[in-house]
Amino acid sequence: MMEYFLKVLRAEMRKQHKNRFFGKSIYVSLFLWPLLTFITAYYSYKPFPLDKIVRGLDYINESNLIIFVLMGYMCLIFFRCFVQSAWLFSSERTYGTLELIYMTPANRLAFIMGNAVASLFESIWLFVVFAAGIFILNASSFKINIGCAILGIILLLTLSILWGMLLNALFLFSRDSAFLFTVLEEPMEIFAGIKVPAVIFPLWAKVISAVFPLTYIAEMLRRIFIKGDGLLQIRGFVLISILTGLVMLTVTIICLRLGEEYARKTGNMALF
């Protein structure tokens, strides 16, 4: 059973990679695009007195600003890559390949997970290497709890994959995937506290930011890597991340089941 699950997962990862990465130049754009947005965000902070703007966060100052922004953008890339890939994934429905996949006994969860994992590793690795380099260059000024750092990275990976699976399931059965794309792309960057920390948001914006799992992950990793927080200090973020992950997985499974049932009942693969 597990072997079959992994077989489908690996096949889907390989297919998506071959289907989307057909030229080497795509790697350049994958690196340049997040790098430019990161530089833009960093230099937009520069002219302002940081300590007066960010009153709620004691750990941000002039010296660690670059790590603060870098950490935010690295987390954003983990989550944002899925919006684009899930949007492309919805073409499986329009090209008719989804019907053929549904004619096979392959595990549906493995299928969407394969797409999510492929998208994630294709999109992040170059920027992660860059971010790691910058971090190592500045590492002497930080005291990091290694155990918490590993836990944080595992949670980042797990939550982003679950987020990707959820988006894949939503986009796969959505009639208007372009609308979902618009709703999720820009707002996630703004409201998840990537550029501006979520703690200084007005209440209404804080409510929106609570919807995105990226909000908790970005804040937790910043606390681990910049402030040097231990497990005791980040336990709230860990708990909320696990809960969010479980909710996302449940919604994904329900969405997949409903989508397939609806398609079998009506012949229409667009659930909503």
Partner 1 sequence: MLIAENLGKTYETKDWSGFLRRKCTQVEAVKDVSLEMQKGQIIGLLGINGAGKTTTIKMLSTLLQPTKGRIDVDGLDGVKDAMKVKKRINMITGGERMIYWRLTARENLWYYGQLYGIENRLLEARIQKLLSMVGLSDKQDIPVERFSKGMKQRLQIARGLINNPGYIFMDEPTLGLDAAIARELREYVKDLARNDGKAILLTTHYIQEVEELCEYVYVMDKGAVIVQGTPKELALMGIENKVLCLELNENHELLHASLTDACMSIEKDCLILWDDKNKTYTITSRQDMSGIVTRVLLEQQAPFRNFYHQEPSLEDAIIKLSRRGA
CB of 117 to partner 1, least distance (A): 15
Tell which one of 2, 52, 103, 146 touches partner 1 (CB under 8 A): 103
Per rule CB under 8 A, is residue 84 in the interface with partner 1? no
Classify burial at 198, counting beta carbons within 10 Å of its beta carbon; exposed 0-12, middle 13-18, buried 19 or more: buried
Q: Which is nearer to partner 1, 20 or 195 (CB)?
A: 20
Closest contact distance (angstroms) between CB of 124 and partner 1 is 22
Choose the binding region for partner 1 from 98-106, 149-157, 168-176, 219-227 (rule: CB under 8 A). Answer: 98-106
Q: Which long-range contacts (CB under 8 A, 24 or more apart) does 136-143 make?
A: 138/64, 138/66, 138/67, 141/63, 141/64, 142/64, 142/67, 142/225, 142/226, 142/228, 143/228
What is the total count of residues that contact partner 1 (CB under 8 A)? 28
**Residue 139 contacts partner 1 per CB under 8 A:** no
Stretch that binds partner 1, among 75-83, 195-203, 215-223, 261-269 (CB under 8 A): 261-269
In the bound state with partner 1, the residue whose beta carbon lies nearer, of 1 and 232, is 1
Does 10 contact partner 1 by CB under 8 A?
yes
Find tokens 């002219």 and name the residue: 47
Other beta carbons within 10 Å of 79 = 26
Taking the alpha carbons at both ends of the chain, their separation in whole angstroms is 31
- Which residue is listed with tokens 């990707």? 164
| Beta carbon nearer to partner 1, 105 or 202 | 105
Question: CA 155, 161, 164: angle at the middle one, nearest 5?
Answer: 135
Q: How many residues does the chain have?
A: 272
Per CB under 8 A, the segment of 19-27, 76-84, 131-139, 217-225 that binds partner 1 is 19-27
Cα distances from 182 to residues 9, 75, 89, 238, in angstroms, run 28, 20, 16, 29
Task: Sketch the per residue contact string, 20 through 39, with partner 1: x for CB under 8 A, - otherwise.
Answer: x-x-----------------
Considering beta carbons, is residue 86 or 217 the nearer one to partner 1? 86
Q: Please give the DSSP secondary-structure letter assigned to residue 96.
A: T
List binders of partner 1 among 118-137 (CB under 8 A).
none
The rounded distance, in Å, linking the Cα atoms of 46 and 247 is 38
Three-state secondary structure call for residue 269? coil
Q: Which of 2, 18, 45, 179 binds partner 1 (CB under 8 A)?
A: 18
Measured from the CB atom, the residue of 42 and 102 that comes closer to partner 1 is: 102
Closest distance to partner 1 from the beta carbon of 118 (Å): 12
Does 97 participate in binding partner 1 (rule CB under 8 A)? yes
Of 88, 150, 163, 152, residue with least CA distance to 120: 163
Provide the 8-state DSSP code for 125.
Answer: H
Instruction: Summarize as ranges the residues that interact with partner 1 (CB under 8 A).
Output: 4, 7-8, 10-11, 14-15, 18-20, 22, 95-97, 99-106, 111, 263-267
